[in-house]
Amino acid sequence: MSLTIRDILAMKSDGNKIAAVTAYDYPSARLADAAGIDLILVGDSLGTVVQGRNTTLPVTMDQMVYHTQMVARGVGRALLMTDMPFMSYQQGTGAAMENAGRLIAEGGAAAVKLEGGSDAALERVAALVTAGIPVMGHIGLTPQSVHAMGGYRVQGKGQGEAERILTEARALESVGAFSLLLEGIPEKLAKEVTELLSIPTVGIGAGIHCDGQILVWHDLLGLGEGKYPKFVKPYAHLGRTIRRALKSYADEVKDNTFPGPEHTYH
Ligand code: KIV
C-alpha cells in the first residue's frame, strides 16, 4: 500500500523526516522504493539530467506522462508525484486542470508539483485541489523562471525577498497545497517557513530545518559530470564505477577475452 497525502502530513506532526528523491524510469523507481524513500518525484529536471539540456524549459507534457508511467510501474510504497512542466499551467486554470489530470489519470501520479506563489499560481493550486488533485507548491529558486531570476541563484537573501517567500508560503498553504518544496533559500528563512506552516516543507539547498529533503537522482548517486553545487552530497560515485565497468568491457572485447567459455553456449 502506497503512502498517502495523509501519511506525508502526519510525518510532520510526528516529527518524522521525509526522504525524497527524483526518478525518471522503472529501475530507478524500484531501487528508490525498495530503499524506503517516502516520496518519489518525476522532476522536470528530466530536461537537464536525462535529456542533456541547459534548462528544464523544453520538457513537454507528453514526456512527463511517459516518464511518470515508467516510474509508476516501479513504485510500491512511496508517494509518487510529478512536476507540471513549463507552460502546462502558466497559460490558465483550464490548461492546469487538463494537464494535471493527465499526470494522474494517464501517468499514475498521486500528486503534482508546480512552481511559484503568484496570484495566478495560487488560483491554479486552488482549482486543482478542489478537483481532488493534491498539489505541492515550489517556491524560492524556481528553475522554470530561470530567465526572470537572471540565472540559478539563491533566493530570499534580502528582507523584501524573504518576506515575499513567507507570504507565498502562507498563501499556498491557505489555498490547499499539501506540502511545499523550498529550493535554494537561506537556512534561516527555510526554518521560519517550516515553523510557520502546518503542512510539511521539503528542502533542496534550503538547510537542515525543513521537514524533509529531496535530491536529484543523478546528484545523489554521483552520476553527474564535473562539479556539484554546494547543497549536493553525492552518496556514491556511480559515474566513476560505470565508466570503469564500460572500459573493462570494451578492453575485453578488443583483446578477445569476452565472451569467455562460461558465457558461451556449447
Ligand atoms: O525537477 C526537479 O528535480 C525538482 C527538484 C528541485 C527536486 O523540482
Rounded to an integer, the average pLDDT of 236-262 is: 97
**Domain enclosing residue 172, as ranges:** 5-235
- Position 23, amino acid: A
Distance between CA 128 and CA 136 in Å, rounded?
Answer: 11
Whether the predicted pLDDT of 133 surpasses 90: yes
Percentage of the chain exceeding pLDDT 70: 100
Same domain assignment for residues 166 and 53: yes
The reply to whether 183 belongs to the active site is yes
Which pLDDT belongs to residue 1?
Answer: 82
Which single residue is written with the C-alpha cell 503542512?
A: 199
**Among 52, 65, 76, 74, CA closest to 101:** 65
Number of domains in the chain: 2
Same domain assignment for residues 221 and 253: no
**Among 102, 123, 98, 125, CA closest to 113:** 125
Whether the predicted pLDDT of 226 surpasses 80: no
Same domain assignment for residues 120 and 149: yes
Residues in the chain: 266
Same domain assignment for residues 43 and 131: yes
Q: What is the pLDDT of residues 143-174, one digit of tens each?
A: 999 999 999 999 999 999 999 999 999 999 99
Same domain assignment for residues 39 and 156: yes
Distance in angstroms between the alpha carbons of the first and the last residue of the chain = 46
Same domain assignment for residues 139 and 199: yes
The overall longest dimension of the chain from CA atoms, in Å, is 74
Same domain assignment for residues 215 and 109: yes
Which numbered atom of ligand 1 lies nearest the CA of 43? 1
Distance between CA 208 and CA 218 in Å, rounded?
Answer: 21
**CA of 196 relative to ligand 1 center, distance in Å:** 23
Same domain assignment for residues 175 and 256: no
For atom 8 of ligand 1, which residue has the closest CA? 43
Same domain assignment for residues 243 and 112: no
